[in-house]
A and B are shown apart, each in its own frame.
Chain A
Amino acid sequence: MENTTIVETHGLTKRYGSGVLAVDSVDMSVRRGEVYGFLGPNGAGKTTTLRMLVGLIRPTSGTATVAGHAPGNPAGLAKIGSLIESPGFYPYLSGRENMRVIADLAGVGYKRVEEVLDMVELGSRAGRKFGTYSTGMKQRLGVAAAVLKDPELLILDEPTNGLDPQGMAEMRKLIKDIGQGERTVLLSSHLLGEVEQICDRVGVISNGKLVTQSTVQALLGEKGVVVRAEPSDQASEVLTRMFGPSSVVREDGYFHLKTDPARSAEINRQLMAAGVGVSELRPFERSLEEVFFQLTGEKQGS
């Protein structure tokens, strides 16, 4: 039976010589074929974890298996494409020459270089020196280099860093396209919207610890309906009768109902029939942002 997990870590820990505990006993698993979001605030330990997965950093303790091998093993590296932190290329070489250098190292033909350059829409500008590229072009060349080997696992560390909104949207589309099919994408980001839009499952890291790991849907929790109605006591009576006391939460003048938003029309009808005036009725869904701040203990807007 084929192993369904492509990345698996047990107690992965990195403590630097200065005593800083960057990653603390991370148990993480990424399944084949999924787009996995690795979420965390800046300095939470995302990049250190990813560097350990590709063998750039040795863990202080714990184990990791990536694409069936220990991190840094040449056989494993052959199956992994990565863009860690920022794209590293030679400023005096053109984009195309940089890619050919990587192709030589990766054992890939130059025809594939042209394919991936076209894929990231750099084909016409690949003759320019890398040092003259804009931030967006550099990021796209980094992604091109990461997919050059047509890897089973693609590790992208903050790929939208430094991009303007249009560049971010383009990068998100590119990652979605790349993540189609059987390829696994491990995407680290501190941009919640980005992860919410792209990923199937997420792991949230805070202060070096993986605080949760689940599907985006499970993390967001149950959907519901928010109602604002007057008189509130009468509204409470109607809603409790409809859904039971455990499914109705009254907070700040609002009723939070644990129910399918598709029942909104029915709720409205029942309230109106009981002579209750409805001033607001809308579906409710927790945003990943709220979940994230709750899990990491960070303050919103801080």
Chain B
Amino acid sequence: MIATIKAEWRKNRFRPAFLVSSALLAALIIVVYLATWYQATHPGTSPREAVSILVLYPDQFVNLVMGAGYPVGAAIAIVLGALYAGSEYSWGTFKTMLTQHHGRITTWIGRVVIFELWMAIMTVVLFAAAAGSSLVVALFQGHAITWPALFDIAKGVATIGLVFSVNGALGMALGTLFKHSAAALGVGLVYVLALQIIVVRFIDSFNGGAYKWIGDLFDGQNASALIQTFRSAAFGPSAASSISVERAVLVLFAYLAVFLVVAAALVRQRDVT
């Protein structure tokens, strides 16, 4: 097991897809800070309601990351998962791995460990970029620098990490299913950015919302519910979610487990051609 993890790390530590995605997330959060800063200091430039500069200060950085990190971050995680699993088939490297010294499941576990490590790294990069950006805004604005409680930061990191993991695992399962990256990331992105939203809206509107509980089982609904709990007063009013935090966490972990187990079963059972 250690050998497979070591090999996975060696081949993925400088993998361009992970490095570019991490940089992309950092750039995304910096752009969000810059745009919001401009809108907050130039009233009337925002097409929506006035933006409060308070959301940009260090004490709010965890809450701001939540909005910026999802669903764009989730989409990036799906793309990465699809590339991570699918490219092994298109490069023919999966057969090279499976003909060495380890069983299929051991090899798969090594891959999952390193993928999850990268999801954790990307989460930390996202939060670090946000913290740095909020510090710059506070220094420029001459605002007092107050950080959120460590527990709140940890909670935020865990939440985004979980959302990335679930969506990354979906990408991996699709990449394994299709044995190809392109089809997997296409289906994954359509699912998370369009299909899921349309289906949930349809279910919610059906029969006066009698089947809303079905819509609440979708991973996106639970991720949104979890993200929403980080929305503070500085961000303005928001509608309360019908899904509790505990339930959202449980449902997301269940999705994570299902995606990984399905992918592992496909790896174990199917021929590698």
| Residues in A lying within 8 Å of B, measured CB to CB | 51, 54-58, 72, 74, 77-78, 80, 82, 84-93, 97-98, 100-102, 104-107, 145, 149
Shortest Cβ distance from residue A13 to the other chain B in the assembled complex, whole angstroms: 14
Q: Is B92 within 8 A of A87, CB to CB?
A: yes
Residues of B16-34 contacting chain A, CB below 8 A = 16
Does A90 contact B91, Cβ atoms closer than 8 Å? yes
Q: Once the chains bind, are A90 and B99 in contact (CB under 8 Å)?
A: no
What residue in chain B is nearest A105 (Cβ atoms)?
Answer: B100
B7 pairs with A101, CB closer than 8 A? yes
The answer to whether A84 touches B95 (Cβ under 8 A) is yes
Q: Which residues of A contact B7 (CB under 8 A)?
A: 101-102, 104-105
Return 30 A-B CB contacts under 8 Å, by A number.
A51-B271, A54-B99, A55-B99, A58-B271, A72-B98, A72-B103, A74-B102, A77-B99, A77-B100, A77-B101, A78-B101, A80-B99, A86-B92, A87-B92, A87-B96, A88-B93, A89-B91, A90-B11, A93-B11, A97-B10, A97-B11, A100-B10, A102-B7, A102-B96, A104-B6, A105-B4, A105-B100, A105-B102, A105-B107, A149-B100
Q: In the complex, how many residue pairs between chain A and chain B have their CB atoms under 8 Å apart?
A: 83
Central interface residue in B4, B94, B99, by most chain A CB within 10 Å:
B99
The answer to whether A56 touches B4 (Cβ under 8 A) is no
Considering only CB atoms, which chain B residue lies closest to A98 in the complex?
Answer: B11
> Does B199 make an interface contact (CB < 8 A)?
no
Q: Which residues of B contact A78 (CB under 8 A)?
A: 101
> Are A102 and B272 in touch, CB under 8 angstroms?
no
Decide yes or no: A56 and B98 within 8 Å by CB, A51-B272, A74-B103, A90-B93 being known contacts. yes
User: Which residues of B243-273 have CB atoms within 8 Å of chain A's CB atoms?
Assistant: 271-273
The 8 Å CB contact of A57, one of B10, B92, B104, B271, is B271
A102 touching B100 in the complex, CB below 8 Å, given contacts A51-B273, A57-B273: yes
A92–B16 contact, CB under 8 A? Answer: yes
The yes or no answer to B97 lying at the interface (CB within 8 A) is yes
4 tightest Cβ-Cβ pairs between the two chains A and B: A88-B92, A104-B7, A105-B100, A88-B96
Query: In the complex the two chains form, what is the Cα distance from A182 to B183 in whole Å?
Result: 46
Residues of B within 8 A of A107 (CB): 3, 101
A105 to chain B: which residues have CB within 8 Å? 3-4, 7, 97, 100-102, 107
